[in-house]
Amino acid sequence: MSEKIQNVPFAKPWIGEAEAEAVGRAIMSGWVTQGPEVAAFEQEFAACVGAKYACAVSNCTTALHLALLAVGVHPGDEVITVSHSFIATANCIRYCGATPVFVDIEPQTYNINPMLIEDAISDRTRAILAVHQMGMPCDLKTILEIGRKYSLPVIEDAACAIGSEILWNGQWEKIGKPHGDIACFSFHPRKVITTGDGGMITTNNPELNQQFRLRRQHAMSVPDSVRHGSKQVIFESYPVLGYNYRMTDIQAALGREQLKRLPEIVERRRYLGDRYHKKLADIPGLKLAQEPTWARSNWQSYCVRLPNKCDQRQVMQFMLDRGVATRRGVMCAHREEAYAAKESWSCGVGLDECQCGPGTCQRLKESELAQDQCIILPMYHQLHESEQDRVVAVLSEACRE
Ligand SMILES: *Cc1c(COP(=O)(O)O)cnc(C)c1O
């Protein structure tokens, strides 16, 4: 009988008994929503990335929404970001009634091209939302210089970048310190550590931190956790419009265990990333993501650009037929129907000036090419070397077909 070959999934969280026990403990404690586990997770997370404050929320999309509100993004404002990202990056700008202004990416890192930012700044620009795409740190040094020059706050969409590092004044520092004003993380299972769903906002600014904390819980002046322990009767008030963006204690208990695994997870992913780099170097025409000298990726996603002659969909199907799951390159928001309305985004030339058709834009060419030419390969903690070798072999065969 022939040996049964296991399929290689695309991603898989690394969760074990420790998490199950921690979640059980949280449930049995009787306090299941935002409470002591959330507070402990926040402290441990802040210590991990080197931030003064960390605020846990329901996911990274709500984290980004709160971050934009806190720096004062209002209806009619513009926020500079990339189209080439998960759609939540652009959506959260629209939640504020503001317009995302899309800047193109660099083809080697898939991150925002900082040289294009200044051209996109107008008198309505309120913030820069910079993404560390697929865990690769973006060029924060240059972006922060531009931010300072125009007095624009810089928010980091670090959804994928927990454990990634950037060289800062000669030292490797974790993404999320934050180097900008605010950084937002995701704990969705597709990311590097998970709480099921969940998010975290870090900052060194106490006023911003206060705002996140207020708005994540209906803008309730005195949270229930405080009233619960009080010897005196307290009436709460609601000074601004708030939301329910809380993380539960059940999620936080899971997150605390995951955080302990982070160093090991990042080390493993960097090892597998190096290994992919070496093994894939022989495939003619295949382009690999390049880490700038000042960046260390956690390889949340390992993305390759297919040789010109290859059809993305055919390669992916070929690989899937042989048991290897992949995903297409990162999407572009401006090509989605949700962004079909002209006023829903801009490419920086002014809302009515762009002459490009719906779903395409000359000024976002690198973004569109990256979406169409790239595929993302299996990458997760428990990916075995033999499985990785199979991914390489099948991709190599697919590119030859
Ligand atoms: C996953 C992701 C998000 C959204 O995170 P959720 O926690 O799922 O809301 C936002 N931005 C980027 C770049 C992402 O990859």
- What is the structure's pLDDT at 1? 44
Nearest CA to ligand 1 atom 5: 60
Q: How far apart are the CA of 320 and the centre of ligand 1, in A?
A: 25
What pLDDT score was predicted for residue 153? 98
- 185 in contact with ligand 1, CB cutoff 6 A: no
What is the position in ligand 1's atom list of the atom closest to the CA of 198?
7
- Predicted confidence at residue 261, as pLDDT, reads 98
pLDDT at 84: 98
Q: Is 26 helix (H, G, I), strand (E, B) or coil?
A: helix
Ligand 1 site-directed mutation target among 91, 102, 186, most atoms within 8 Å of CB? 186
Q: pLDDT, tens digit, for every residue of 141-200?
A: 999 999 999 999 999 999 999 999 999 999 999 999 999 999 999 999 999 999 999 999
Please check the confidence at residue 2 and state whether its pLDDT lies above 80.
Answer: no
Residue 194 Cβ contacting ligand 1 at under 6 Å:
no
CATH topology of domain 263-331+342-400: Aspartate Aminotransferase, domain 1 (3.90.1150)
Taking residues 244-260, report their average pLDDT.
98
Distance CA 35, CA 248 (A): 8
Q: Is the pLDDT of residue 12 over 90?
A: yes
Q: Does ligand 1 lie within 6 Å of residue 156's CB atom?
A: no
Strand ranges (DSSP E) for 33-95? Answer: 53-57, 78-82
pLDDT at 358: 79
User: How far is the centre of ligand 1, averaged over its atoms, from the C-alpha of 64 (Å)?
Assistant: 9
What band does 356 get if pLDDT is binned at 50, 70 and 90?
confident
Three-point CA angle 209, 213, 216, nearest 5°:
130
* Residue 400 predicted with pLDDT over 90: no
Domain spans of the chain, in order of start: 17-259, 263-331+342-400
Domain 17-259 has CATH 3.40.640.10: yes
Average pLDDT across the chain, whole number: 95
Count the Cβ atoms, other than its own, within 10 Å of residue 223: 17
**pTM surpassing 0.85?**
yes
pLDDT, one tens digit per residue, over 153-170 is 999 999 999 999 999 999
Q: Is 83 in the pocket of ligand 1 (CB under 6 A)?
A: no
Structure tokens at 393: 């072999």
pLDDT of residue 357: 76
CA-197 nearest atom, ligand 1: 7
Same topology between domain 17-259 and domain 263-331+342-400: no
> Could you give the C-alpha distances from 291 to 53, 142, 161, 165, in angstroms and in order?
29, 16, 14, 11
Which of 58, 84, 89 has most ligand 1 atoms within 8 Å of CB, for mutation?
Answer: 89
pLDDT confidence of residue 3: 55
